[in-house]
Amino acid sequence: MSFLYCKWSRDSRLPGRPRSLDDRGVAVIEFALAAPILMALLFGVMHFGSTAIQAMQMENAVRAGIQYASVRKPVDGNVSDIIAAVTTAGPDTPTDNRTVTATLFEDGDALYLTIRMEDDYRPPISTMWGGKSRALRAESTIRLK
């Protein structure tokens, strides 16, 4: 970067020349200014990542319920086994607001099953500061007949 060279810049000192007294502590001040920004970025990435993992686990649980329903079709509209399969395959995070619903509906001669899982997820980072929970939803439909 020779085109940005300035005679009075801090980097213009000669290689063997010792630093002047007014250069001491500059790195500490720069770190003190940059550290909060880097920490905020780190916590944001962790927050987004844990929410994405929770959403993927919910999608996988709903898919497991669909696979269970395709192998063991509900008899007489009883979907409790399917709901139990989705709950078992669901995320391990403790929550009181997670709901799993399975709905059978007919369209002419076709029979469809829709499985929906909803959860108010609060990532571990936001739990420390009392942040809001995120409403997550996973849904899938299969034609049974």
The model's confidence at residue 34, banded by pLDDT at 50, 70 and 90, is very high
Does residue 97 lie in a domain region? yes
Percent of the chain with pLDDT over 90: 26
Per-residue model confidence (pLDDT) at position 6: 53
Q: Find the mean pLDDT for residues 39-53.
A: 89
Question: Structural domain of residue 61, as residue ranges?
Answer: 25-143
Q: Would you state the structure tokens that stand for residue 113, as one six-digit string?
A: 């099953």
Residue 79 pLDDT exceeds 80:
yes
pTM exceeding 0.85: no
- What's the mean per-residue pLDDT of the chain? 82
Percent of the chain with pLDDT over 70: 83
Residue 63 pLDDT exceeds 90:
yes
Per-residue model confidence (pLDDT) at position 105: 87
Per-residue model confidence (pLDDT) at position 8: 53
Per-residue model confidence (pLDDT) at position 133: 78
Does residue 17 lie in a domain region? no
Per-residue model confidence (pLDDT) at position 16: 61
Does residue 4 lie in a domain region? no
Does residue 44 lie in a domain region? yes
What lies within 8 Å, CB to CB, of 83 at 6+ separation is 65, 100, 101, 102
Cα diameter, the chain: 88
Per-residue model confidence (pLDDT) at position 15: 65
Does residue 8 lie in a domain region? no
Does residue 2 lie in a domain region? no
Q: Find the mean pLDDT for residues 53-73.
A: 91
Quick check: 58 and 119 in contact, CB under 8 A? yes
Per the structure, how many domains does the chain have? Answer: 1
Does residue 99 lie in a domain region? yes
Give the residue among 67, 71, 141 at the shortest CA–CA distance from 110.
141
Does residue 91 lie in a domain region? yes
